[in-house]
Amino acid sequence: MHAAQYDLAIVGCGPAGLSAAINAKIRKLDFVLFGTEFCSLKLHQSPIVDNYLGFPHINGEELRQQFLRHVETMGIEITRNKITNIFPADQGYTLLGKDGTAYLASSVILATGVAYSQMLPGEGEFVGRGVSYCGTCDGPLYRGKNVAVIGYTQEAESEVEYLARVANHVHYFVRYRRQPQPLPANVTLSHIPVLRFEGNGYLEAVVTKEGLQPVDGVFIFRDAEPPGQLLLGVQVQDQAVVVDRNLQTNLPGVFAAGDITGRPWQLAKAIGEGNAAALQAAEYLRSLKQRQNDLVSQAV
C-alpha cells in the first residue's frame, strides 16, 4: 500500500494547528491535519480565558468548541492519529502515525504544543536503546519481556492495555491525578515519580526513590513529545524549536507554530503563528513547484 501524499502536513490540532489548517484551506493546499482527542487539552482545562481579543471572560472549553466548529464549517477533517516520528524522504518528509500508518508531505508545520513535563535524566541517552514513545510501534520488540510505562495523560492507558498483551509484565507509573481505569492483571500501578534511567549502552532499569526497577524497555507518554525526538535534526534550544521570522526551522520545508516555538505560551501568539506558518508554507510550496518546473524545462 502506498502512503498518502500531501503538500502539507500539520502536526497538532491545538489553536496553532487549527489556525494553520484554516489558512491552508483558504490557500487551497492539499493538506492533512493530525490531532488527538482534545485538540488542546490546555484550553479544555482552562476555566476562564480573559486575554483573547473579542471573547472576554470566556470558558476555555467553550472557546475550544468554537474553534472546532469553525474548522468543521470549512470542511476541515482532523486525522486522529498521533504522529510519533518524522524523518526526511526523497521529496519532503515521511510521518509515522501511532497506528503504523505512514504519510508523505512536501512540507510540515509542527504545532504539537509543549511538553510540560521535562525529559528525565538518561532519557535522551537511551532513545532507541530502551526508551520509546510509541507502544504499538515498538511494543513487539518487548514480547515476553518486562517494561515500564510512564503516563502523563490518560491517553497512556490504551497503550498500557496493548503492551500488557505483548509484554510479560508492565510497571505503570501514573503521573496524572485521575484514577486509571481497571487494567490487566499483569500491570502494576505506581504513583511514585521516576527519577532517572540507568543502563550500560542500553536501558536496564528505572530509578525511583524506592530503588531500582529492572526493565527491558520504557515507554513514555506525554501531552506532547520533546520536539527533538519527534523530528531528529530540528534545532531545539531550551526545549523549544528554533524558528526565524518566517517560522521556518533549520530544516527545509519544516515550520513551527505555537507553544512549541517557546515562550510566551499565549493563545493569541499560537493562533497568529499558525496563520503565518501556513502562509509561509504556501510560499515555500509555490517556490518548490517553480523550481521543479524550471528543472523540467531545462531537461527538455
* Residue range(s) defining the domain that contains residue 159: 124-221
**Among 22, 197, 5, residue whose Cα is nearest residue 101:** 5
Co-location of 215 and 229 in the same domain:
no
User: Residue 69: which CATH number?
Assistant: 3.50.50.60
Which residues touch 58 (CB under 8 Å, ≥6 apart)?
Answer: 48, 49, 50, 52
Please say whether the dihedral angle defined by the alpha carbons of residues 15, 72, 230 and 40, taken in this order, is positive or negative.
positive
Co-location of 184 and 157 in the same domain:
yes
What does the pLDDT read at residue 176?
A: 86
Instruction: For residue 144, give the C-alpha cell.
Output: 515476553
From 195, 221, 247, give the residue that closes a domain.
221
Co-location of 131 and 109 in the same domain:
no
What does the pLDDT read at residue 206?
A: 97
Tell me the β-bridge partners of 132. 219
Co-location of 42 and 169 in the same domain:
no
What does the pLDDT read at residue 300?
A: 61
Co-location of 201 and 229 in the same domain:
no
From 169, 201, 221, give the residue that closes a domain.
221
Over the stretch 55-82, which tens digit does the pLDDT of each residue have?
A: 988 999 999 999 999 999 999 999 999 8
pTM confidence score? 0.75
Confidence of residue 97 (pLDDT cuts 50, 70, 90): very high
Write the single-letter amino acid at 229: Q
Co-location of 152 and 167 in the same domain:
yes
Instruction: For residue 85, give the C-alpha cell.
Output: 516520528
Q: What is the percentage of the chain residues whose pLDDT exceeds 90?
A: 68
Beta-strand runs (E) in 154-264: 169-174, 187-190, 194-199, 203-208, 211-214, 217-221, 236-237, 240-241, 254-256
> How far is the C-alpha of 240 from the C-alpha of 126, rounded, in Å?
21
From 221, 238, 268, give the residue that closes a domain.
221
Which residues touch 298 (CB under 8 Å, ≥6 apart)?
Answer: none
